[in-house]
Every structure is written in C-alpha cells, then in structure tokens.
Amino acid sequence: MEPSSRSSATEPRWLPLSAAIELNRQVVEKFGGRHRLTSLSALKLALASPWNIWVYSKVVDPAALTAALFSDLASVNAFECGNKRTAFLCAVAFIEANGRSFTMPDSEISAEKLRGFAERRLGENALAEWLRYWISD
C-alpha cells in the first residue's frame, strides 16, 4: 500500500481514550494482572501521537500513523499490566476504525517482531514498513 497524499485525505478516526482503557481491561481479564491506569497523561500523549504526526508532519500513511500509536502506547506504560498487548489491540482498532483490515499471521515470528517493536529494539520506520504488509483496504 502506497502512502496517500494529504490533499485528498480526510481526517482519520482517532482512537478514543475510553477504547484504550477498555482494551486494556480486556487484556488483563484474558491474560491476568490488574486493570489500573497508572498515568492518564501518558496515555493521552501516546494516543495523540498519530494526530500530531498527521497535523504537523502532514503524514497520511496509515501504517506510519499506526506505528506511532503502537510504539508510544507500548513504551509509556500507562497501565499497570498489559501495555504491549493493549498497544497491539489499539493499533488494530485504529486500523479497523479507518476502514482497513489487519491480517497478520498468528505466529511466534510475528509475536517476536511485535516485541522487538514494542521494546524499541526495532525502529518505528521499520514497524511502519512491516505493518504495510498486513494492512489492506
């Protein structure tokens, strides 16, 4: 998928705060842990990162916007538990809210890649490139 031009782009649908909190609740319910928001401000900043890129850098590429969202959510530790899984679910929800689908294979290789991106061992640009393979219209 090629990045589209800003002139023809409509504003993406941004992931609401309530959705991220609910997705974390679902993660800890399924995998264990305590559902507790530890930093509202960190969560708000992470959720705003794709908006900032869209507004100030004029980036419209859904993979780049999703990469920013995932990277920031995974690293800010806004929740007591389940931050990386929540970041992944939020990224998928963001993709789907914008009329696209995400079809990544459920494999150990995919999981290891995501861990690498979440832990910032692999860069955000590489994450955007990797996401492009799994995002479709």
Secondary structure tally for the chain: helices H, strands E: 6, 2
Identify residue 21 by its one-letter amino acid code.
Answer: I
pLDDT in the model for residue 6? 47
Identify residue 124 by its one-letter amino acid code.
Answer: E
Residue ranges covered by each domain of the chain: 15-136
Mean local confidence (pLDDT), 24-42 = 97
The verdict on domain 15-136 having CATH code 3.40.50.2300 is no
Q: In Å, how far from its chain's centre is CA 76?
A: 12
Mean pLDDT of the residues in the chain: 90
pLDDT in the model for residue 9? 66
Give the separation between CA 129 and CA 18, rounded to whole angstroms.
Answer: 28
Contact 22, 82 (CB under 8 A): no
pLDDT at residue 4 is higher than 80: no
**Hey, is 81 helix, strand or coil?**
coil
Give the separation between CA 64 and CA 58, rounded to whole angstroms.
Answer: 11
Give the CA count within 13 Å in the CB-facing half-sphere of 110: 11
pLDDT at residue 115 is higher than 90: no
pLDDT in the model for residue 60? 95
Contact 91, 47 (CB under 8 A): no
Comparing 107 with 27, the larger pLDDT belongs to: 27
The fraction of the chain above a pLDDT of 70, given in percent, is 93
Is pTM, for the whole model, over 0.75? yes
Query: What is the tens place of the pLDDT at every residue in 119-130?
Result: 878 888 999 999
